[in-house]
């Protein structure tokens, strides 16, 4: 199958989470989250209790995919930053390392300028965490290591049980 | 493209329902939504026109339970079936782990089925996928209608490879969960294969 599946390990997850929290604070944001381009939520932090982050993740990815399609038609590689302004909340969306999407939700306690600045910094940090992660995935694959792979021993029965 | 998170012990997979306009893709998801208990599902999102035709996609996140200590989540998507939404269909196929082709069993929709199947093959190829290699099953929907094509003929036209296939009436749920189960199984088996392949 094309490309490699997205894999996340504990070590990188903690690094990512810490970086998102830093961004949340420094940008004075309400919510910060990270989505795979295919719409899967990777991590979220901030005031997420009453937020449907799963749906937001899917719609963010759809949004990026749609604008990506528009970019192609215009001969652009991609539009790497999107910004939506609301009456109360605003959303800043940016693509990191071609693969993941960083979303920052903020209100009047912050500003677009501040968010932009802080996102730029975090993007670098997150970018290098993801390169580290991809490298790790490659190495583990190469060594054929899948020690605690949840799939190795999977049976038809396991799958039937999923549906109760 | 599945997402395996060893940190939160979760597996996410993406399944796309494909097929011609009005074949019943959205109806499949609505049934699954209706019959799944609230703990296991997220909100169903439908980006639709005012006449309830899918405009971009439907999205339904399902949490199915655990496999070997990993929470298993399936993200179900439908594409817009109308011919002129082809650009959107391509986008939805990105990162797909499994495809359900929903065929409309009515005689007058046979040509649309075949066209849509061809369109699926082309759009997958554009993303670097080969339809013959992707976990893939077929559903013959609307079996309740009077003007349906006989099953054998549908199989011949749409399923020459003899893949798993199911008859369905999405409006009353017949065959809907059988279809979902079958594709989920194929997707998970494929993940297993991928891991073994090293
Ligand atoms: N009789 C009958 N009608 C069905 C069945 N499944 C779906 N329908 C009806 O067919 C119509 C179209 O169904 P949708 O689920 O919206 O079709 P779709 O494939 O999502 O269509 P697009 O979004 O345009 O691609 C609706 O009126 C459904 O109620 C079925 O099994 N039997
Ligand atoms: Mg639809």
CA–CA distance, B34 with B53 (Å, rounded to integer): 19
- Mutation for A interface: B46, B76, B95, B180, most A CBs within 10 A: B95
- Tell me the two tokens of residue A49: 């209790």
Using an 8 Å Cβ cutoff, are B193 and A5 in contact? no
Residue-by-residue DSSP string for A98-112 = TTEEEEEEE-TTS-H
- Tell me the two tokens of residue A135: 């490298």
Instruction: Report which protein residue has its CA nearest ligand 1's atom 21.
Output: B22
Using an 8 Å Cβ cutoff, are B23 and B82 in contact? no
In this prediction, the residues of chain B whose per-residue pLDDT falls under 70 are: 195-198
Locate the DSSP E strands across A11-134.
31-36, 41-46, 81-85, 90-96, 100-106
**Closest ligand (CA of B58):** 2
pLDDT of amino acid B2: 85
What pTM does this model have?
0.92
How far is C-alpha A31 from the geometric centre of its chain's CA atoms?
Answer: 13
Instruction: Find chain A residues with C-beta within 8 A of B6's C-beta.
Output: 7-10, 148
What residue segments make up the domains of chain A, in order of their start?
A: 10-145
- pLDDT of chain A along its 164 residues, tens only? 334 578 899 999 999 999 999 999 999 999 999 999 988 899 999 999 999 999 999 999 999 999 998 998 999 998 989 999 999 999 999 999 888 999 999 999 999 999 999 999 999 999 999 999 989 888 877 765 554 567 777 777 877 777 76
Q: How far is the CA of B82 from the centre of ligand 2 (A)?
A: 9
ipTM: 0.83
**How many other C-beta atoms are found inside a 10 Å radius of the C-beta of residue A121?**
14
Ligand 1 is surrounded, with C-beta below 6 A, by B 19, 21-27, 53-54, 78, 80-82, 141-142, 144-145, 169-171
Superfamily of chain region A10-145: Dynein light chain 2a, cytoplasmic (3.30.450.30)
Domains of chain B, first to last:
3-191 (3.40.50.300)
């Amino acid at each position: 199958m094309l490309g490699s599946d997205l894999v996340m390990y504990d070590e990188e997850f903690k690094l990512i989470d810490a970086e998102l929290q830093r961004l949340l604070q420094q940008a004075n944001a309400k919510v910060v989250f990270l989505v795979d381009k295919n719409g899967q939520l990777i991590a979220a932090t901030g005031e997420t209790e009453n937020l449907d982050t799963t749906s937001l993740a899917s719609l963010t990815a759809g949004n990026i995919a749609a604008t990506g399609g528009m970019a192609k038609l215009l001969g652009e590689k991609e539009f790497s930053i999107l910004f939506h302004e609301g009456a109360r909340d605003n959303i800043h969306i940016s693509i990191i390392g071609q693969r993941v999407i960083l979303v920052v939700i903020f209100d009047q306690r912050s500003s677009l300028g501040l968010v932009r600045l802080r996102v730029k910094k975090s993007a670098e940090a997150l970018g290098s965490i993801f390169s580290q992660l991809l490298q790790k995935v490659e190495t583990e694959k190469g060594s054929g290591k899948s020690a605690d792979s949840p799939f190795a021993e999977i049976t038809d029965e396991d799958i039937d049980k999923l549906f109760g | 493209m599945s997402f395996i998170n060893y940190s939160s012990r979760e597996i996410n997979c993406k399944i796309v329902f494909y097929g011609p306009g009005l074949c019943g893709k959205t109806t499949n998801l609505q049934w699954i939504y209706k019959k799944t208990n609230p703990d296991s599902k997220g909100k169903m999102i439908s980006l639709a026109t005012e006449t309830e035709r899918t405009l971009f996609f439907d999205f339904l996140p399902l949490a199915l339970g655990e496999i070997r200590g990993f929470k298993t989540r399936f993200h179900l998507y439908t594409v817009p079936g109308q011919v002129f939404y082809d650009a959107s269909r391509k986008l939805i196929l990105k990162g797909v782990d499994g495809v359900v082709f929903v065929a409309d069993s009515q005689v007058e929709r046979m040509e649309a089925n075949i066209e849509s199947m061809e369109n699926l093959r082309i759009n997958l190829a554009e993303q670097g996928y080969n339809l013959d290699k992707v976990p893939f099953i077929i559903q013959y929907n609307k079996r309740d209608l009077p003007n349906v094509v006989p099953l054998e003929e549908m199989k011949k036209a749409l399923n020459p490879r003899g893949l798993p296939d199911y008859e369905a009436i999405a409006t009353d749920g017949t065959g809907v969960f059988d279809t979902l189960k079958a594709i989920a199984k194929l997707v998970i088996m494929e993940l297993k294969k991928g891991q073994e392949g090293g």
